[in-house]
Amino acid sequence: MYTQPLNKVTLALEQWINAVVTSKYNPLYYHGALPQFFLWVLFLSGLLLFAYYVPTIDNAYSAEKLINAYTTVEYITHIPFGATIRGIHRYAGDAMVIAILLHMLRVWFTDRYRQYRIVQWLSGIVLLLLVLFIGQTGYYLVWDERSLALTRMTAKSFDVLPIIGEPLKWWFLNGQEITNYTLSNFLFIHIGLSFSLLFGLWIHYVRMQRPVLTPPPVIQFMLFALLSILLLWYPVTSGSMATLTQQPTAFEVDWFFLWPYWLMTQMNLQAYWLTIVTGVIVLCMLPYFVHTKEVEAAEVVTKKCTGCSLCSRDCPYAAIEMVPAPAGSRFKLLATVKSYRCSGCGVCVGACAFDAIDLPNLLDTDLTAKITASAKG
Amino acid sequence: MSKVLWAITILILSTVCVGVVVFMPLAELGLLNSPNSVPLESSTWLQFTGIQNLVKFGRISLLTLTHGMQESPNFQYYAYFFFLGIALMLASVALIVIGHEEPQEKTVLPRKK
Ligand code: SF4
Ligand code: SF4
């Protein structure tokens, strides 16, 4: 398989990190939990920023006594620790995108995204798209020249979409043009969609027996330390205040979130949407392009099963359900395999002390030898 | 790692960690921006010159690291987070060193009946 060499590289890296920090603190074993950690950092820092943010574009720069979105961002930047919290919020967002991409790559290299994992793969793509859009709305909220340029570029890009373009633009601007309502809509999208990530994450985890939601404290310390240290070299800045009568021509691009805007400048808008939609479809279809053998689900030997539930507790994909044993059985429960969830991983075979669960075409002794070998490796 | 070496490593890491944490309040008070503003009353609990020298050391280290970032009005808060980050980093290294001593997780296969 073409991902095998890449998989070997990640396994070698894994072993090297294990040798240095032991398997307990190897971040590669928590790759799914890393974006989640940054999400908590974003929620907490975002909550602090939200306390000072007023979403209006009125009474801009010269109206010193009146608060507006720009002056509130300015205000946040100048109160004690305001700039640092802003920086933590910004860089935690960037770090989250990096963590998601690494998570995706690792899942892809280790071949854990097909068949029984298709729901995780698809929900992961939706979550990534949501995170990108939420990050972009964060850039609109600053309401500097870049925010104005991004808002206009987005609204203009909707113009070329047939049927849904007009309503989308109306929804995005919260009206026909940029007004105070536009910024309150951006704030709503930024915060509301952030909370909807939790629902998306629930779907992402629902088929997993024991999802790892938080990395160990050591990794959390390290990640937060990196963000804190980075701030000293790269303090966050804003451009000049947005003025609706002017059209900003150039702005700094954050490549983690704003790359679609760069793409927009490289082609016409129809081609832009075509590229984005094709990219998303290809990403979603990736699992179907790779031909693999159909998985054969584990089978319970009914006569031997004592209903101890060990296999059900160990199955990583929640594929084993304990049901009441049939009448006449000496035991209370019986294990049953939900074949559509089974990955054929063999964990249950190793877990069962009664030889009561098997994988078709794989002898119990062979499997035990395999597990022993990989545990030693 | 021998027990003595292990204890020395932890001791050194902890001392440096605590030492770095001392810079956090100094940074927050803005003393790294202007070492001469160390309050004179501080001599009542620690030698005034001692604090001033510490502050100067912190300032010079950061100046070297950041090439003049000190001019920013928010420097003191960035410096606070910087020292917090360094302390957290050292704490993590100390935890990893301690964790190294604990037995590794083993795969145990049940004995088939
Ligand atoms: S082989 Fe067993 S442990 Fe693995 S997914 Fe299937 S039922 Fe679960
Ligand atoms: S571990 Fe074996 S005996 Fe226990 S419930 Fe599962 S299949 Fe049955």
Measured distance CA(A169)–CA(A276) in Å, rounded: 18
- What pLDDT is stored for residue A59 in this prediction? 46
The lowest-confidence range among A142-146, A169-173, A362-366 is A362-366
| Residue B6, token pair as written in the block | 């292990």
ipTM associated with this complex? 0.80
Contact status, residue A146 vs residue A252, Cβ threshold 8 Å: yes
CA–chain centroid gap for A213, Å, is 12
CB of A214 within 8 A of CB of A29?
Answer: no
Confidence grade of residue A377 (pLDDT, cut at 50, 70, 90): low
* Dihedral over Cα of A314, A315, A318, A323: its sign: negative
The whole model's pTM is what?
Answer: 0.84
Best-predicted range by mean pLDDT among A70-79, A218-227, A324-333, B97-106?
A: A218-227
Which residue in B78, B88, B112 is closest to A225 by CB distance?
B88
Which of B65, B78, B96 lies at the smallest CB-CB distance from A21?
Answer: B96
Residue A175, phi-psi category: left (phi > 0), alpha (psi -120 to 50), beta (remainder): left
Rounded percentage of chain A residues whose pLDDT exceeds 90: 47
> pLDDT (tens digit, 9 = 90+) per residue, A258-287?
999 999 999 999 999 999 999 999 999 887
The two tokens of residue A155 are 């609204």
B contacts of A25 (beta carbons < 8 Å) = 96, 99
Using the mean position of ligand 1's atoms as its centre, give its distance from the Cα of residue B106 in Å.
Answer: 21
The per-residue pLDDT for A300 is 93
Q: Report the range of poorest mean pLDDT among A173-187, A317-331, A335-349, B70-84.
A: B70-84
CA atoms within 13 A on the CB side of A116: 23
Query: By mean pLDDT, which of A145-154, A178-187, A291-300, B63-72 is the weakest?
Result: B63-72
CB pairs under 8 A between A and B: 103
Most confident range, picked from A6-10, A80-84, A273-277: A273-277
Tell me if A225 and B89 make a contact (CB, 8 A cut-off): yes
Which token pair is A132?
Answer: 């990108």
Query: Is 70 exceeded by the pLDDT of residue A144?
Result: yes
Which residues, 6 or more positions from A50, have their beta carbon under 8 angstroms from its beta carbon? Answer: A191
The number of C-alpha atoms within 13 Å of A118 and in the hemisphere containing its C-beta is 13
**Cβ–Cβ contact A33 with B under 8 A:** no
Can you tell me the mean pLDDT for A333-352? 88
Q: Chain A within 8 Å of B67 (Cβ-Cβ)? A: no
Write out the two tokens for A146: 């870049």
More confident residue, A322 or A53: A322
* C-beta atoms of B78 and A232 within 8 A: yes
Report d(CA B37, CA B35) in Å as an integer: 5
Mutate to test the pocket of ligand 1, among A114, A116, A120, A345 (most ligand atoms within 8 A of CB): A345
Q: Supply the DSSP string of A137-191, one letter for each residue.
A: HHHHHT-BHHHHHHHHHHHHHHHTSTTTHHHHHHHHHTSSS--HHHHHHHHHHHH
**Kind and range of the H or E element at A337?**
strand A333-337
Residue ranges and CATH numbers for the domains of chain A are 4-289 (1.20.810.10), 299-376 (3.30.70.3270)
b/e string for B40-63 if b means 16 or more Cβ within 10 A? eeeeeeeeeeebbebbeebbeebe
More confident residue, A221 or B55: A221
Q: pLDDT band for position A148 (50/70/90)?
A: very high
The pLDDT tens digits of the residues spanning A163-172 come to 999 999 999 9
Residue A63: what pLDDT? 43
Distance from CA of B40 to the nearest CA of A (A): 24
Closest CA to A144 of A199, A71, A62: A71
> Is residue A245 a contact partner of residue A66, using CB atoms and an 8 Å limit?
no
- CA A177 and chain centroid, separation: 32
Backbone angles phi, psi at A207, to 5 degrees: -95, 10
pLDDT value at B112 more than 70: no
Is the pLDDT at A69 greater than 70, yes or no? no
Ligand 1 lined by A298 (C-beta under 6 Å):
yes
* Ligand having the closest approach to the CA of A305: 2
Mean pLDDT (chain B) is: 76
Region label for A147, one of left (φ > 0), alpha (ψ between -120 and 50) or beta (otherwise): alpha
Residue B103 exposure: Cα atoms within 13 Å on the Cβ side: 3
Report CA-CA distances (Å) from A9 to A15, A32, A334: 10, 19, 42
Mean pLDDT of B58-72: 72
The finding on whether A300 has its CB within 6 A of some atom of ligand 2 is yes
d(CA B91, CA A337): 45
* pLDDT per position as a tens digit, A229-264: 988 888 888 877 778 888 887 888 889 999 999 999
State yes or no: pLDDT of B45 exceeds 60.
no
Ligand 1 centre and the CA of B112: distance in Å?
A: 18
Which DSSP string corresponds to A214-254? S--HHHHHHHHHHHHHHHHHS-----SBP-TTS--------
Tokens at residue B91, please?
Answer: 């704490």
For residues A218 and B99, is the Cβ–Cβ distance under 8 A? yes
Distance CA A243, CA A249 (A): 13
Encoded tokens for A99: 């963590």
Query: pLDDT-derived band of residue B108, with 50, 70 and 90 as boundaries?
Result: low
The reported pLDDT for the residue numbered A62 is: 39
Residue with tokens 């203009």: A156
How crowded is the C-beta side of A168, counted as CA atoms within 13 Å? 13
Is the model's pLDDT at A66 over the cut of 60?
A: no
In sequence order, the 6+-apart residues with CB closer than 8 A to the CB of B41 are none
In 3D, which of B5, B63, B1, B3 has the Cα closest to residue B34?
Answer: B63
**What is the pLDDT at residue B98?**
79
pLDDT of residue B14: 84
Decide: A90 and A153 in contact? Cβ < 8 Å. Answer: no
Report the percentage of chain A scoring pLDDT > 70: 91
CA-to-CA distance for A308 and A332, rounded, in angstroms?
Answer: 9
Tell me whether A352 touches chain B (CB under 8 Å).
yes
Rounded Cα gap, residues B46 and B35, in angstroms: 16
Indicate if the pLDDT at residue A340 is higher than 80: yes
pLDDT of A60 above 60: no
pLDDT top residue among A194 and B41? A194
Helical (H) or strand (E) element with A321: strand A320-324
Q: In the predicted model, is pLDDT for residue B1 greater than 80? A: no
Check pLDDT > 60 for residue A64. no
The tally of CA atoms less than 13 A away on the side-chain side of residue A85 is 19
